[in-house]
Structures are given as C-alpha cells and as structure tokens.
Amino acid sequence: MASLSALVTDTNIWIDLENGGILAKVFDLPYQFLTPDFAKRELIRPKWQTLQALGLQAQELEPALIQELMTLRAANRALSATDLASFLLARSLKATLLTGDWRLGDLAARNGVRVHGVLWLLDDMVRLQTIAAEHAATALSQMLNQGARLPQDECRKRLTAWSK
C-alpha cells in the first residue's frame, strides 16, 4: 500500500488548512491523505465527518504498532498518543508525515521518515496549479492571522513571491 503519494497527517495540518480557507482544495492534490484512527476523536474543527467526506481516510494501527506506541509514549511525554500514532503509521507505510508540530517532525526525521508541513502543501498547490499564487498568499495570511505557528522567514518569502 505504501507509495510516494501517501501522506499521513496529524490534526494541526487540518486546522491550518481550514483557517486558510483551502481545506477542500488540498484534496485536489494527487495524494492519498491518511490519518490514524486515533485522530478521529480529536478532529472537532474541522470535523472528522467533513474531512472524511472530502477524502481523508482513517487507518488502524496494527497491534505491534500499538505496543510500540505505548513504549514511545513513555519516552516522549510532550507528544500525544495521536501524534505518535501518526508517526508510526507514516513509518510503517513508508509515507510522508505532514505535521506542524516541530517535536513530532524531529522524531520522524531522526527515524528516517520524510516530514513536511503546511508550507510544503501550499508550495505544491501553487506548483500543481490547484490554487493561484495570490490565493496561496491569502490563505497563508489567514493561517497566520489565526495563530498558525510557522517559520516567519519562510512565510515572508512565500508571501513576497506569491503576491507579485
């Protein structure tokens, strides 16, 4: 099942995309969006049902991964069980992990899992022309205005480039 087109998401990615007003548009990208089934109960805004209708798929962890999650949880108290489940799912599928949580991204990178965030998604949406550059700039501004914690220098570069 693993392929380069599988993207495993944590919950904060969806909040940023909704705040940017581009939640539905991200599903125009040529990726399979997955999340661990643990995340369904955390997806309140946006709602799990909305994301599922758009194309997000929940996937259960195998029993061995649930055991590993318990061990990881003891060693990584700053990360939620859902965050760790996202990491384990991405690793098991050899998929890319999408997260805005630097601690989760660091854990994934240290363990050989490809990691990207919402800026990478915006870049891809512009590159693949699922949204216009100006729309990406507006979406990013809205995310930042809603409190998204994104690298300021990277945001400034994109806002400058996309606002031309």
> CATH classification of 1-164 is 3.40.50.1010, yes or no?
yes
Q: Which long-range contacts (CB under 8 A, 24 or more apart) does 46-55 make?
A: 46/14, 46/15, 46/18, 50/23, 51/14, 51/23, 54/23, 54/24, 54/27, 55/27
Looking at residue 29, what is its pLDDT? 95
Q: Other CB atoms closer than 10 Å to residue 86's CB: what's the count?
A: 29
Q: pLDDT by residue (tens digit) across 7-16? A: 999 988 999 9
Residue 132 clears pLDDT 50, i.e. is over it: yes
d(CA 96, CA 70): 22
Each domain of the chain, given as residue ranges in start order, spans 1-164
In this prediction, residues 73-84 reach a mean pLDDT of: 90
